[in-house]
Amino acid sequence: MQHNSPVTARMVRRAALGITLGLPLGTACSLVLDLDDAVSCTSDDECRYTTGQGTCVDGFCQPGNADETGDPSTGVGPTTVAPTSTGPDEETTSTTGIDTDTEGSTSTGPVSCSLNSDCGDTERCSDDGICVSLLSAQCDTVQWPDGERDDVVFLGSIMPTAGIFAELVQPLENATQLAIEDFNDHASLPGGRKVAWVSCDSSAGASAAEMAAEHLRDVAGVPAIVGPVFSEAVRQVAEEVTVPADIFVISPTASAPSLSNFQDDNLVWRVTPNDVYQGNAIIDRFAFDLGIDPVASRILVLNKDDAYGNELRDLIGSDLSAFFDNIYFASYPGPETFASQEDLLNAYGEVLGLALGQPGIAQSAGAHDSPDDHYTHVLIIGTSEAEAFIVSYLGIWASNYMFAPFPIITTSHGAVPTLPDIVSNIGTTPQTMPLVPLKPLLFSSLRGTSPNIFDPANFTAFNIRYKIRFNDQDALTSSSLGYDAAMATMFAMATVPSDQTLTGSAVAAGMASLNDAAGTPISFGAPVAVFVQDAVNELTMGSTVDLQGVSGALDWDPDNGEIRADVLGWRLGGSSDMPALDAYCLYSLFPVPMTNGTWVSIGTGMPPCGL
């Protein structure tokens, strides 16, 4: 089925930069008025409108007479105007003085409406009967269900999909979009309502995520949000925006333990497990299962300085420090804090320099020429920025320390999806061509840990649809979390009758109907039309279901929105020219309420879980 292309702010972003089609740059600073308020003046020069030159009449500004040919004061053609970005507590409306419902036409004043279809393609009809823009500085995509704009419920998403996060997070947003399209193609919410989607980018950090959430609350009126994906942003958005507003939040990937320990009125859920399980898996892997010598080994632990990185480091820090004689911890800023890639690389280079300058660690080949003076293992707790550290470390080692073994490098789950690309990018990333001969070494030295969020059969079925929808790209394993989060949210919405208000609390209550072991089994590996229709039919009749998602069993604790899952140990399979993730170990959790377990090899002919 053909889907409507998302309407994005990129179409009109040039206008926000003051370079609207045919409009001189200086007019970007023209007066933008709420025409409900009179603006005093003493001359015509003080009455510059977005639509052109106004006039001063009896001490008050009056707009000029624009027509379909454009601004009469400039003689230029029609203009396209981007939505005005307002403050965090202000609503973005068409009261900027422009009605953009019809390209090339302009009219002053707010636009009254009774239906969304009375408004422009990127607008909705607010509860006050005024067209308001669904776009903002953070929220740049609106997608309507096919053939329907009026009888819809809005679902928001907040994810960092630009810059260094693009390769890691864009697949999660794609998967969220696919889930919404799958749902709309094969089912409806009670009352025949479809789901419209407003997508927001939080690449600038937690504050950007908060502003996006405010826009989704104030303008889109969403009852639920998929995202944010980082724990720190989830906490900030929940405390400042969504919990007070009774909006349901489900994060595909946020795993910090602190999300289990704050007052969220059961409105914050997640698809990935609490990091307490991964923390215990890392401790046991390093201290017991890998056979690492506690005296002769030297461990470097680098963690991203945010809720995810700091809390996982704190979980493992005391145990690893008690076990190893030589261990060094260092935090680093998240990539969103840097103005440029050059600044990031310089800062991360300083972090590595300090780490290599620790007592007993080689600062240069001449100062410490014994292999015993070098890190044997590096653990990176972060996300895709791990590539910068790994490649930099490889370059430093190649330039100075090739007489010592290259360390085994392990990443936490935030960086696991990028491990194959870290090897593949050697030789294509600027200044890495000299490292190409070392690709086999790097290939054999990378490890990772992540929650077991992978159902092979269901993922295969999902990946086929994903490739068809997104230009033959393969989905990342982690993208299954975005799909499951969005689909589960819409299923929970389906439990709310059409004559009841669809609130975040109602969605959260509906989640309890999704993982009843006695309910109807629903597998996301079945044909999409079958499992979507079957689930919605059961839920709208008041029955319960038991979901097996793309990422595995969606067995939430209905009281706190938490999922419990084993942990996988990863290495790279294939070859250094075509690397692929290979799960070869499983940290099998002991029965509830235990949070630790034991490492076991998995798969036929798999090697032991040692290095």
Q: Each residue of 475-534: pLDDT tens digit?
A: 988 899 999 999 999 999 999 999 999 999 999 999 999 999 999 999 999 999 999 999
Quote the pLDDT of residue 54: 64
CB 329 within 8 A of CB 305: no
Please tell me the distance from the alpha carbon of residue 546 to that of residue 536, in angstroms, as a whole number. Answer: 12
Does the structure show a pLDDT above 90 at 558? no
**What secondary structure letter does DSSP report for 107?**
-
The span from the CA of 439 to the CA of 448, in Å, is: 17
pLDDT, position 157:
98
Provide mean pLDDT across the span 253-268. Answer: 94
- Distance CA(279)–CA(462), nearest Å, equals 29
Q: Compare 559 and 589 and report the one with higher pLDDT.
A: 589
Each residue's pLDDT tens digit, 163-180: 888 888 999 999 999 999
pLDDT bucket at 372, cuts 50 / 70 / 90: confident
Residues paired with 249 in a beta bridge = 225, 268
Task: Say yes or no to pLDDT of 82 above 50.
Answer: no
CA-closest candidate to residue 451, choices 299, 606, 557, 562: 562
> Under 8 Å CB-to-CB from 9, ≥6 apart: which residues?
16, 82, 83, 122, 135, 139, 140, 141
CA 581 to chain CA mean position, Å = 21
Q: pLDDT tens, 303-359? A: 999 999 999 999 999 999 999 999 999 999 998 889 888 899 899 999 999 998 887
- What the block records as the tokens of 457 is 């059969």
The 10s digit of each residue's pLDDT in 193-241 is 999 999 999 999 999 999 999 999 999 999 999 999 999 999 999 999 9
pLDDT at 287 over 90: no
Which region among 282-296, 357-371, 433-447, 508-522 has the lowest average model confidence (pLDDT)? 357-371
Q: How much is the average pLDDT of 556-575?
A: 92
pLDDT beyond 80 at 52: no
> Which ranges of 92-199 does DSSP label H, i.e. alpha helix?
166-186
Residue 177, φ and ψ in degrees, nearest 5? -60, -45
Q: What DSSP letter does each residue of 209-224 carry, written as one string?
A: HHHHHHHIIIII--SE
Of 223, 201, 232, the C-alpha closest to 267 is 223
Per DSSP, 456 falls in state H
What is the pLDDT, as a whole number, of residue 98? 35
Q: What is the 3-state secondary structure (H, E, C) of 426-493?
A: CCCCCCCHHHHHHHHHHHHHEEEEEECCCCHHHHHHHHHHHHHHCCCCCCCCCHHHHHHHHHHHHHHH
Radius of gyration in angstroms for the set of CA atoms belonging to the chain, rounded to a whole number: 27
Residue 521 to residues 252, 265, 459, 515, 535, Cα–Cα distance (Å): 22, 28, 17, 9, 9
DSSP 473: P
- Give 487's contacts (C-beta < 8 A, 6+ positions apart): 179, 182, 183, 524, 532, 549
Residue 447 phi, psi (nearest 5): -135, 170
Helices (H), 187-325: 206-215, 231-237, 275-284, 307-323
CA distance 161 to 346: 23
Opening angle at CA 33, ends 29 and 37, nearest 5: 150
Domain extent listing, the chain: 136-273+454-562, 276-452+578-601
Q: Which of residues 221 and 85 earns the better pLDDT score?
A: 221
Which structure tokens are listed for 325?
């004689």
> What mean pLDDT do residues 144-151 have?
94
Q: How many helices (H) and strands (E) does the chain have?
A: 14, 26
* Closest C-alpha to 233, from 383, 89, 344: 383
Residue 60's pLDDT band (boundaries 50, 70, 90)? low
Q: How confident is the model at residue 611 (pLDDT cuts 50, 70, 90)?
A: low
550 contacts 455 by C-beta, under 8 angstroms: yes
- Backbone φ and ψ of 589, nearest 5°: -70, 145
Q: Residue 24: pLDDT band by 50, 70, 90 thresholds?
A: very low
- What are the start-end ranges of the H helices in 187-257? 206-215, 231-237
pLDDT at 9 over 50: no
Task: Report DSSP state, residue 174.
Answer: H
Percentage of the chain modeled with pLDDT above 70:
79
pTM, rounded to two decimals: 0.79
Per mean pLDDT, which range of 13-27, 239-253, 402-416 is the poorest?
13-27
From the centroid of its chain, how far is CA 415?
14
Query: Mean pLDDT score of the chain, rounded to an integer?
Result: 83
| 136-273+454-562 and 276-452+578-601, same CATH topology | yes
User: Given 3.20.20.70, 3.40.50.2300, 1.10.3720.10, 2.130.10.10, which CATH number is that of 276-452+578-601?
Assistant: 3.40.50.2300
Residue 39 has pLDDT above 50, yes or no: no
According to the model, what pLDDT value does residue 261 have? 87
pLDDT at position 401: 87
Fold for the domain defined by 136-273+454-562:
Rossmann fold (3.40.50)
DSSP state letter for 112: B
Confidence of residue 559 (pLDDT cuts 50, 70, 90): confident
Q: How many residues does the chain have?
A: 611
| 407 preceded by a cis bond (ω within 30 of 0) | no
Inform me whether the pLDDT recorded for 187 exceeds 80. yes
Q: Which residues contact 580 (CB under 8 A, 6 or more apart)?
A: 420, 572, 573, 574
